[in-house]
Amino acid sequence: MKRTWRKTPPQWAMADAAAYYAAMAAKGWILEKVGIHWDRYRRAEPQQLQFWVELSLDGGAELPEEQIQLYDESGWTLMAQKGQMYVFAAQLSAQTPEPYAVDDPQQDRMLRCVQRNYRNGIISIVVMLLLAGAWVVTVHRASLPKLLMGCWLLIPWLLWILCSVWDTVYGFGALTRMRAKLKRGERPEAKRRLGYRLPLRVMSVLAALCLLIGGAAWISAWRGREPLPAQSNGDYLIVSQLSGQRRDEKSVYAGMFEVNYVEQAGAFPFYRAYQTCEGTKEGEKERVIFQDVYILRWHGLAGAMADSLRNNGMFAKAEAYVPVEIDGLDQAWYVPGGMEYVAAAGNRLVYGTVTGTRPDDAFLLTLLRETAKLWNP
């Protein structure tokens, strides 16, 4: 059987949803299932049906059997149900009574109930935004590169949250207007007009664009793991090229984990990144040097990224890093008696870690100086 899915109309637009279901039925698509975000329709002969969306009011409990029975006996068949929402349909006929009279206080109770749901929704969203804000601040403090890496997912997620906020706030306003209409003795109907739809469409398109562009950029930047070349590309250091060093393909560490590779990734539009792992030998000293090199699109990011890298160092605390002045580097730090260094120059940034034979400070300073030379040929 042929089926199709359409976006579920918001709960506040009950009359609008009913009209939409009727229009679909007239086109030969009969509502089969109501979902949270998507409704399912099955193919059938086009039918002239009228729909009614009913909500159970008693604390989210199911609609009483007796009420469903009454609907059924009056010609209204239950078509679909999801949570509090019940959708009934009847043949378009003058004999079928409308479920409610306009002056029915039950209508106001129903609107008040939906309004309460929306109010709770607004509270939930505010709490969620506060939590998300706290999370972003925490992540920013912990690891800006990771936050930027995830931004092409984060932005669509934020836009999706914004859509929910817009829908909820608009819904709350619409329900307030509908209750006012009811008090004036008018039908409590509200339509999803352009003013409601346009911001949602714009945000959806933006989110989709972010996903597409960000995803494509990430995929195009991703190179996977490749053997570390003998020559540097000008962004990362090949330590085995330095005086007294040679490439170590069979160090004890090689048995523990893979060495001598480079990975390329990117966080569009913020940076491109290389991660290298190189095994070296200097006499009897066996080392593995890791470099995370970021090529930033904006120089302004360098300071915050350098802070974040030191705060998020794998071994040393941020306080352990000591600044050092090196020609050709805007900023440089290393951990005396430790294993890490951070350097920034122009739009380039490196976080390096040396494991294996414990490096002396001179080796870390050599790596910083050689990095400066590499970046300032």
Partner 1 sequence: MTAPMTEAMYYVLLALVRPAHGYAMMQQIRRLSRQRVIIGPGTLYGILSRMRADGWISMEEDDGRRKTYAITQQGREALLAEYRRLQSQLADGAFLMEEDENHETDMA
Using the rule CB under 8 A, is 51 a contact of partner 1?
A: no
Secondary structure (3-state) at 239: helix
* Smallest separation (angstroms) from partner 1 to the CB of 177: 21
Burial class, 133, CB count within 10 angstroms (exposed 0-12 / middle 13-18 / buried 19+): exposed
Using the rule CB under 8 A, is 357 a contact of partner 1?
A: no
* Smallest separation (angstroms) from partner 1 to the CB of 14: 12
> How far is it, in rounded angstroms, from Cα 195 to Cα 52?
25
Using the rule CB under 8 A, is 182 a contact of partner 1?
A: no
* Smallest separation (angstroms) from partner 1 to the CB of 26: 23
Using the rule CB under 8 A, is 92 a contact of partner 1?
A: no
Closest Cα to residue 375, out of 233, 235, 241, 275?
235
The amino acid present at 72, given as its one-letter code, is D
Of the listed pieces 61-69, 284-292, 301-309, 362-370, which binds partner 1 according to CB under 8 A?
Answer: 61-69
* Smallest separation (angstroms) from partner 1 to the CB of 186: 17
Using the rule CB under 8 A, is 91 a contact of partner 1?
A: no
Torsion angle of C-alpha atoms 368, 374, 376, 377, degrees rounded to 10? 140
The site for partner 1, by CB under 8 A, has a size of 21
One of 101, 126, 205, 212 touching partner 1 (CB under 8 A): 101
Using the rule CB under 8 A, is 77 a contact of partner 1?
A: no
One of 98, 186, 226, 258 touching partner 1 (CB under 8 A): 98
CA angle 113–119–122, rounded 5-degree value:
150
* Smallest separation (angstroms) from partner 1 to the CB of 41: 25
Please, which residue, 108 or 307, has the CB nearer to partner 1? 108
Secondary structure (3-state) at 284: coil
One of 3, 46, 104, 249 touching partner 1 (CB under 8 A): 104
| Token output for 326 | 């090196």
Reduced DSSP (H G I as helix, E B as strand, rest coil) percent helix, strand, coil of the chain, to 5: 45, 25, 30
The amino acid present at 127, given as its one-letter code, is V
Using the rule CB under 8 A, is 67 a contact of partner 1?
A: yes
Using the rule CB under 8 A, is 184 a contact of partner 1?
A: no
Alpha-helix residue ranges (DSSP H) falling in the chain: 14-26, 65-73, 105-142, 144-149, 151-183, 194-221, 252-256, 301-311, 361-375
Using the rule CB under 8 A, is 188 a contact of partner 1?
A: no
Using the rule CB under 8 A, is 62 a contact of partner 1?
A: no
Using the rule CB under 8 A, is 81 a contact of partner 1?
A: no
Q: Count of H helices and E strands in the chain? A: 9, 15
Using the rule CB under 8 A, is 71 a contact of partner 1?
A: yes
Binding footprint of partner 1 on the chain (CB under 8 A): 52, 54, 64, 66-67, 69-71, 73-74, 76, 97-101, 103-106, 109
